Structure 1
Amino acid sequence: MSAEERRESVIRAAMTEFARGGYIGTSTEAIARRVGVSQPYLFRLFPNKQAIFLAAATRCLERTRRAFEEAVEGVPDDQVAEAMGTAYGRLIDDRDVLLMQMQMYVAVATADASGESEVGDAVRAGWAELWDWLQLRLGADPRVTTDFMAHGMLVNVLVSMGFPADHRVWAGLDPDCL
């Protein structure tokens, strides 16, 4: 494998490990083991654990945006939100994607509290970029974007907590978002 291919393997493995263990609870040793490389080799590809986490967080946000972009190709404007909601439901069927998103929020709060502003700054910038893209695609109405994102966050919480689709907490939510 080339270094770039190995780097991609590390990012995929890191998403899985960070999704399950969080930033603090995940060791670079676990990531290296999952990829099948030594820790020293891992640090030739990435300077530190923070850089690995940020690469995984960036990839997670990119996957989300790509899912939205693909969902709206050729879709009439009045069906964009529904198409993206359905695509998002399929995206978070991959539990690692869902949990990585949740871990990103925890990592930002934890990093900010401990003075590691680089993590928070980078994740917030990626999230804001996703927000801006959604805002434009949803018609540039901040209320519509807020409602869409709030709905998505509620879905994240309900799915991550394991609420079954027929539970009353889902009342009023689009069943296609599962």
Structure 2
Amino acid sequence: MRKTANERREDVVRAALSGFSRYGLHGTSTDSIARDVGISQPYLFRLFPTKRDIFLTAGRVCFERTYHAFATAARGKTGEDALAAMRQAYGELAADRELPLMQMQLYVAASSDEAVRQQVSAWWKGLWTLVSQTTGLPPHSITDFMACGMLINVMVALGVSGDHQGWDVLGKHGRNAMGDLTESSPPLKVVRALFS
């Protein structure tokens, strides 16, 4: 049975997430995305007007997955309990390298493309607002949480081995989560531990 245009768009986004997360906006060809989906390049551009549109749609899916995971994990919780639930949820998401790598590619593309920067900035602010409003914690706690998430993204992108002390410093969940960070283990101490 032939797929609908909407089903093909979903296929394109899945293939694009895989390609863009590894090779970025400029390193991923639309030809390779079309080939992965089994469609022609002209048909790809009937589904999405530009390569940037494909990239931003894949980016939106990436941020929506994170937002949904945080909101679901923290449902009915506030304060440190909500933050701990979101840490666990992000650890589970980050276990699939595609998500943290796609986030890194989005940030890189944002540095040289104003349209990407505006959209990624809005998504990032949305995550910040969700964490802040859900937890009710002060800004320094939200900053620590977001910074540790970025540290996880960097460690995943660098392929830091599972036995590296940096994962242990991130808390009891080690490789799969940010763990139970406290005031005594803010991101600066994590970074110092990584490079000491």
Unaligned runs of 5+ in 1: 112-116
Letter in 2 for 1:15: L
CA contact (8 A) 1:18 1:103 kept: yes
- Partner in structure 2 of residue 33 of structure 1: 35
- Partner in structure 2 of residue 7 of structure 1: 9
- Partner in structure 2 of residue 80 of structure 1: 82
- Separation (CA, whole Å) in 2 of partners of 1:88 and 1:13: 22
Deviation at 1:61, TM superposition (A): 0.3
Deviation at 1:93, TM superposition (A): 1.2
- Partner in structure 2 of residue 121 of structure 1: 118
CA contact (8 A) 2:62 2:102 kept: yes
Give the alignment's Cα RMSD to 1 decimal: 1.5
- Separation (CA, whole Å) in 1 of partners of 2:130 and 2:44: 33
**Superimposed CA distance per residue, residues 87-123 of structure 1 (whole angstroms, 9 cap, x where no aligned partner):** 1111011111121011111111132xxxxx1111111
Letter in 1 for 2:170: L
Letter in 2 for 1:62: E
Structure 1-normalised TM-score? 0.91
- Separation (CA, whole Å) in 1 of partners of 2:59 and 2:20: 9
**Superimposed CA distance per residue, residues 70-101 of structure 1 (whole angstroms, 9 cap, x where no aligned partner):** 21123454311111111111101111112101
Letter in 2 for 1:2: T
- Separation (CA, whole Å) in 2 of partners of 1:109 and 1:125: 14
- Runs of 4 or more, structure 1, over 6 Å off, are none
- Separation (CA, whole Å) in 2 of partners of 1:89 and 1:2: 35
- Separation (CA, whole Å) in 1 of partners of 2:41 and 2:172: 44
- Partner in structure 1 of residue 102 of structure 2: 100
**Superimposed CA distance per residue, residues 113-170 of structure 1 (whole angstroms, 9 cap, x where no aligned partner):** xxxx111111111111111111111215211111110111111112222223332223
CA contact (8 A) 1:72 1:84 kept: yes
Structure 2-normalised TM-score? 0.83
CA contact (8 A) 1:138 1:144 kept: no
- Separation (CA, whole Å) in 2 of partners of 1:119 and 1:67: 23
Unaligned runs of 5+ in 2: 177-196
- Separation (CA, whole Å) in 1 of partners of 2:135 and 2:78: 11
Q: How many residues are treated as equivalent by the alignment?
A: 173
CA contact (8 A) 1:15 1:56 kept: yes
Query: Percent identity, aligned pairs only?
Result: 49
- Partner in structure 2 of residue 114 of structure 1: none
